[in-house]
Amino acid sequence: MLTAAIDLEVTATVVVCAPALMPPWPKERLQAEMLTYLYERITYSLGENESCLIIADQPGGGHIDETRWLSGALALDTDGTKYVKPEHKQIVLPIVTTRSDHVAHLQLGPV
């Protein structure tokens, strides 16, 4: 899998959050900010003629939390952010989630 990813020039974008270094926001705000940062970083990393899909691990906390998270993700797909607008549709579908153990074939590392 790693060899195929290298051959296809696959890249990954990661945003690491250190809550102790962030403002004292509620959990929902912190999650929304991290999703915004991730969306912007992915968009910035794409070349002019490149596109991608975003498949995120299913958020913990149950159905209500997942629905709230997906609603925020859909808003990004529709409206973008202050700095990134989705007019070029480089992210070709709304962000989707699934349990990471259901898509082990998409993970590029020891499972």
User: Across-strand partners of 97?
Assistant: 56
Among 10-14, 26-30, 49-53, 103-107, the minimum mean pLDDT is found in: 103-107
Residue 56 CA: distances (Å) to CA of 49, 63, 97, 106? 23, 15, 5, 11
| pLDDT surpassing 50 at residue 41 | yes
Instruction: Give yes or no for a contact between 86 and 51, defined as CB atoms under 8 angstroms apart.
Output: no
| The pLDDT of residue 107 | 67
Nearest-angstrom CA–CA distance, 18 and 84: 24
Mean pLDDT (whole number) for 62-73: 84
Write the pLDDT tens digit of every residue in 83-96. Answer: 988 777 788 888 88
User: Across-strand partners of 52?
Assistant: 91
Write the pLDDT tens digit of every residue in 4-20. Answer: 878 888 777 777 778 88
